[in-house]
Amino acid sequence: MKILVTGGAGFIGSALIRYIIGHRDDTVINVDKLTYAGNLESLADVAGSERYHFEQVDICDGAALRAVFARYQPDAVMHLAAESHVDRSIDGPAAFIETNIVGTYVLLEEARRYWNGLNDERRQAFRFHHISTDEVYGDLDDDGSLFREDTPYAPSSPYSASKASADHLVRAWRRTYGLPVLLTNCSNNYGPYHFPEKLIPLMILNALEGKPLPVYGSGRQVRDWLYVEDHARALYRVVSGGNVGETYNIGGHNEKQNIEVVETICTLLEELAPQKPAGVQHYRDLITYVTDRPGHDMRYAIDAGKIERQLGWTPRESFASGMRKTVQWYLDNRAWCQRVQDGSYQRQRLGTGAAAEV
């Protein structure tokens, strides 16, 4: 296949592209606007492949998308481009409305225009895979219940509301126009190349620098944690073998309280990075409780049984193995982290150096 991936320079998108180029024979067209969260250094290992192509395009730009479709003639679209940080959505929701809702609409229309022009065989084979989040479901009581594919939507934040809106648009384009869509809703991802504003990399890097480890509220919020490379395998399984019109929930079977996650990081760092910053006796001593954010969901948990039954996917990493790999990666890649933290990675933009060669 030729697969057009939107948001391919982001955390999950880059993991997906590394998986496809490294383990499959498909060609990938990476369409990314390169906002602050887009980092082409995350794709350095595959950038030289003849099967990898990069286009710096905003998904809200219909004309630019149309040119990409015409040039590459993809067999599938995997739509990951999104603003995704909840705190940022609370402080400035406009960007989330523009990218996650308007951008998805523009992409759907350009995909539909392209799909309508294909011959019958290629029209039958074409797929539009929309990648979403479990946050669209709201939160769960602490009663053992799980998010299923038919769980009613109840988003709590501007971010999750914008993703829920995008999900509804994708389903409407299937129902109204017949566009062959697939949807996936995933739990919290973690792993290598995660932008340092997110919980796990923030805690690792703050600890290594002797900075406070800020935990919202009581830290008892529960999330299901999914190793990003497991997620990449699941996404490919869906786009290549999923049933048109279906939704698949993807989870890691790893429910943990936020405070448990932070304590796990501290324990791993005691082993893997025993040389602590000046004045720090134990990494746990850096844990600091801060005022909870507005509308904070208390518990997410995914029932991933459908994708296991229908497509044979299960996560390979346990929370223990995935966290160890993640902490070790950040210890081994401090230069990557430093370039993100000081902003120098943003010099990758086209016209400013290396990105022009990708």
Tokens of 238: 């869906």
> What confidence score (pLDDT) does residue 355 get?
33
Burial degree of 344 (CB within 10 A; 0-12, 13-18, 19+): exposed
Task: Measure the CA–CA gap between 98 and 334, rounded to whole angstroms.
Answer: 33
Q: Which residues pair with 28 in a beta bridge?
A: 3, 52
Task: Measure the CA–CA gap between 309 and 82, rounded to whole angstroms.
Answer: 29
User: Residue for token digits 């919020």?
Assistant: 221
Of 162, 111, 104, 103, nearest to 133 (Cα)? 162
Whether domain 2-190+225-253+300-317+344-357 has CATH 3.40.50.720: yes
* Structural domain boundaries in the chain: 2-190+225-253+300-317+344-357
Cβ-contact 35, 57 below 8 angstroms = no
Task: Measure the CA–CA gap between 279 and 72, rounded to whole angstroms.
Answer: 56
Task: Measure the CA–CA gap between 213 and 194, rounded to whole angstroms.
Answer: 17
**C-alpha distances out from residue 299 to 59, 223, 253, 262, Å:** 32, 6, 14, 16
Q: What is the pLDDT of residues 40-90, one digit of tens each?
A: 999 999 999 999 999 999 999 999 999 999 999 999 999 999 987 777 888
Cα angle for residues 29, 26, 54 (degrees, 5° grid):
15
| Active site amino acids | 134-135, 159
Residue by residue, pLDDT tens for the chain (358 residues) are 999 999 999 999 999 999 999 999 999 999 999 988 889 999 999 999 999 999 999 999 999 999 999 999 999 999 999 987 777 888 889 999 999 999 999 999 999 999 999 999 999 999 999 999 999 999 888 888 999 999 999 999 999 999 999 999 999 999 999 999 999 999 999 999 998 888 999 999 999 999 999 999 999 999 999 999 999 999 999 999 999 999 999 999 899 999 999 999 999 999 999 999 999 999 999 999 999 888 788 898 999 999 999 999 999 999 999 999 999 999 999 999 899 888 888 876 544 333 322 2
The H-or-E segment that residue 181 falls in is strand 181-186
Of 252, 255, 229, 225, nearest to 307 (Cα)? 252
- Secondary structure class of 197 (helix, strand, coil): coil
DSSP states of 13-45 = HHHHHHHHHHHS--EEEEEE---TT--GGGGTT
> What confidence score (pLDDT) does residue 36 get?
82
Name residue 329's amino acid. Answer: W
CB atoms within 10 A of CB 138: 21
> What confidence score (pLDDT) does residue 348 get?
61
> What confidence score (pLDDT) does residue 346 get?
82
Pairing assessment for the beta strands 255-257 and 213-216 based on DSSP bridges: unpaired
Task: Measure the CA–CA gap between 243 and 79, rounded to whole angstroms.
Answer: 17
Interacting residues of 30 by C-beta distance below 8 A, sequence separation 6+: 5, 8, 9, 13, 17, 43, 52, 53, 54, 55
Task: Measure the CA–CA gap between 165 and 279, rounded to whole angstroms.
Answer: 48
Tokens of 170: 């994708």
Q: What is the pLDDT of residues 102-146, one digit of tens each?
A: 999 999 999 999 999 999 999 999 999 999 999 999 988 888 899
User: From the CA atom positions of the chain, what is the Rg in Å?
Assistant: 20
Task: Measure the CA–CA gap between 277 and 208, rounded to whole angstroms.
Answer: 7
DSSP 244: T
Pairing assessment for the beta strands 127-133 and 181-186 based on DSSP bridges: parallel
**C-alpha distances out from residue 256 to 24, 26, 123, 222, Å:** 33, 36, 43, 5
Task: Measure the CA–CA gap between 40 and 336, rounded to whole angstroms.
Answer: 11
Burial degree of 310 (CB within 10 A; 0-12, 13-18, 19+): middle
